[in-house]
Amino acid sequence: MRRRRVLIVSYVFPPLVAGGAPRMGQFARLLPEFGWDVTVVTAKHVGIDADAVAALDGRTKIVATWSPSTIVPRGTPSPKLGIRGWVRKTLRTAALSVMFPDREVFWAPGAIRAGKAALAEAPHDVVFATYGPASDLVVGRALARAAGLPLVVDFRDLWSTLPIPRFTTALHRAAAHRLERGIVRDASRVIAVAPHMAEDLAREHGIADAHAISITNGFDPDDASRVRDGRPSSPDRPFRLMYVGSVNANYDLEPFWHAIRELARSGRVTPETLRIEFVGNLALSDARSLGVDAFVDVMPFVPHAEVFDQLARADAVFMIETPGYYARYSYAAKVFDYLLTGKPVLALVEPGGNTSRLLAEAGVGYEANPSDPIAVAAALERVLALKGRPPRHVDCNAPPFAAFNRRNLVRRLAATLDEVAATEPRGHWN
């Protein structure tokens, strides 16, 4: 049986480290193990994860095309408070009012040309396009239709039905919904990052439940060898709480900062006893506006291979997700790196949501309502009391971890692509 080839359309891709880049990079790296060679159409990015790109050498053909939106790189700090927060929100709203479906629309024509050239160079069996940005889906459908190939679309977030303000007007949302429905119905399969998302997409767009499949985020099994505990042994050292990754523009850290301020006012923490380190894109101005910046250290993003060097220094790790939508429809990507460490997780997440349940099953979650500063302070004090305790043992092949092992997830993705190539080799373009 000949090896098959998939063309992946993913604007966000290594060397970027945020916004779904690890998911797509690991899909591209692991699919060849299951009989699928890979071509990737992406944008030319200036990023830091050269190791992730190098890991694809010999496994993946990468076609990178120009995009003008690199003027404002992804992962740029997003202040929410003060004049800077207002300016950012105003500019973003203005941009979304005139660029449809998103700011990557200017990348799409060049991506379509490059994708057609790649399809002409070698036989391909499936086109796989991931949202977001939405322009990925536009490019993917155009390429699949032009080549007469089946289309598979992947949703890392909901788009037109996202219950978070993203569209500037109801007309923008309606136009996005109409475009999304057309693409989903043209696709042979829909993949989503959580079961509820797959179910809702099928119901919303009137496709068969069996054609909407959940393939969650997860961890790279090769990362297990990188995990170590590198905390200093000195009892007088400060407790280090660490956040690694992108601070999403929808996250509300203000209650967390208020909790730190209250603990500081009562003398329960000082900058000498607690350090809060963000490795990513935190806008420090928000912490400064509430007078707690003395507790905070900020580092830039690091390549994924170096994430565990940073986490080795942490006593506990910190995560936050927006209540409601994210609790039901996703698993925060960073939670899987956190779980591999076996260290306590201060989790500002909605009780009973996907991430909440996973942390409870792993036995490392210390939860608080993300909007309640008093609850956040209480959860943090419980975590602070764990200083010096050894990490929990993690078995990547045992529950709950085995279900999120990326190699197992990619095996399922490859089986889905096999089924599509065998049953709908020409897609829906009759």
Which sequence spans correspond to the domains of the chain? 4-218+405-423, 221-384
Q: What is the mean pLDDT of residues 324-333?
A: 84
Is residue 116 a contact partner of residue 110, using CB atoms and an 8 Å limit? Answer: no
In this structure, which amino acid lies at residue 213? Answer: I
Kindly write down the DSSP assignment for every residue of 51-75, as one continuous string: HHHHTTTTTEEEEEE--GGGGS-TT
Lowest mean pLDDT among 62-71, 117-126, 352-361, 376-385: 62-71
Let me know if the fold of 4-218+405-423 is the same as that of 221-384: yes
| CATH class held by domain 4-218+405-423 | alpha beta
pLDDT (average), residues 82-86? 56
pLDDT digits (tens, 9 = 90+) for 41-50: 999 988 888 8
Determine the pLDDT at residue 96.
Answer: 55
Model confidence at 86: pLDDT above 70: no
Of the ranges 104-108, 238-242, 331-335, which one carries the lowest mean pLDDT score?
331-335
* Least confident residue range of 7-21, 82-96, 235-249: 82-96
Question: Is pLDDT above 90 for 200?
Answer: yes
Specify the pTM.
Answer: 0.86
Mean pLDDT of 146-159: 96
Collapse the DSSP code of 259 into the 3-class scheme (helix H, G, I; strand E, B; otherwise coil) and give the result. helix
**82: confidence class by pLDDT, cuts 50, 70, 90:** low
Are 45 and 421 spatial neighbours (Cβ–Cβ below 8 Å)? no
Q: Which residue has the higher pLDDT, 185 or 48?
A: 185
Mean pLDDT of the residues in the chain: 90
Q: Would the pLDDT of 119 be above 70?
A: yes
- All residues at 6 or more sequence positions from 377 whose CB lies less than 8 Å from its CB, including other chains: 259, 260, 262, 263
Q: Is the model's pLDDT at 240 over the cut of 70? A: yes
51 φψ region: left (φ > 0), alpha (ψ -120 to 50), beta (else): alpha
Q: 46: Cβ–Cβ under 8 A, 6 or more apart, which residues? A: 15, 70, 73
Q: Which CATH architecture has domain 221-384?
A: 3-Layer(aba) Sandwich (3.40)
Contact 196, 175 (CB under 8 A): no
Closest CA to 84 of 249, 256, 295: 249
The answer to whether residue 87 scores a pLDDT higher than 50 is no
Alpha carbon distance 56, 361 (integer Å):
33
Percent of the chain topping pLDDT 90: 70
Local confidence band at 71 (pLDDT 50, 70, 90 cut-offs): very low
Separation in Å, CA 139 to CA 105, 134, 428: 9, 9, 16
The tokens describing 327, both together, are 């609790």
Over 60: is that where the pLDDT of 92 sits? no
Confidence of residue 430 (pLDDT cuts 50, 70, 90): low
* Interval 29-46 mean pLDDT: 95
DSSP label of 104: G
Sign for the CA dihedral angle at 46, 51, 54, 60 comes to: negative
Region 401-429: mean pLDDT is 95
Find all residues with CB under 8 Å of 86, minimum gap 6, and list them: none
pLDDT at 330: 85
pLDDT value at 81 more than 80: no
Q: What is the predicted pLDDT for the residue at 410?
A: 97
pLDDT of residue 260: 97
Residue 324 pLDDT? 83
**Local confidence band at 132 (pLDDT 50, 70, 90 cut-offs):** confident
CA dist., res. 17 & res. 300, Å (int):
11
247-305: per-residue pLDDT in tens?
A: 877 788 999 999 999 999 999 999 999 999 999 888 888 889 999 999 999 999 888 88
Look at residue 77 in the predicted model and tell me its pLDDT. Answer: 58
Reduced to 3 states (helix: H, G, I; strand: E, B; else coil), residue 280 is strand
* The pLDDT of residue 84 is above 70: no
Q: How many CA within 13 A on the CB side of residue 340?
A: 26
Strands, DSSP E only, in 147-198?
Answer: 151-155, 189-192
Decide if pLDDT at 155 tops 50.
yes
Ramachandran bin of 342, using left for φ above 0, alpha for ψ from -120 to 50, beta for the remaining angles: left
In this prediction, residue 426 carries a pLDDT of 95
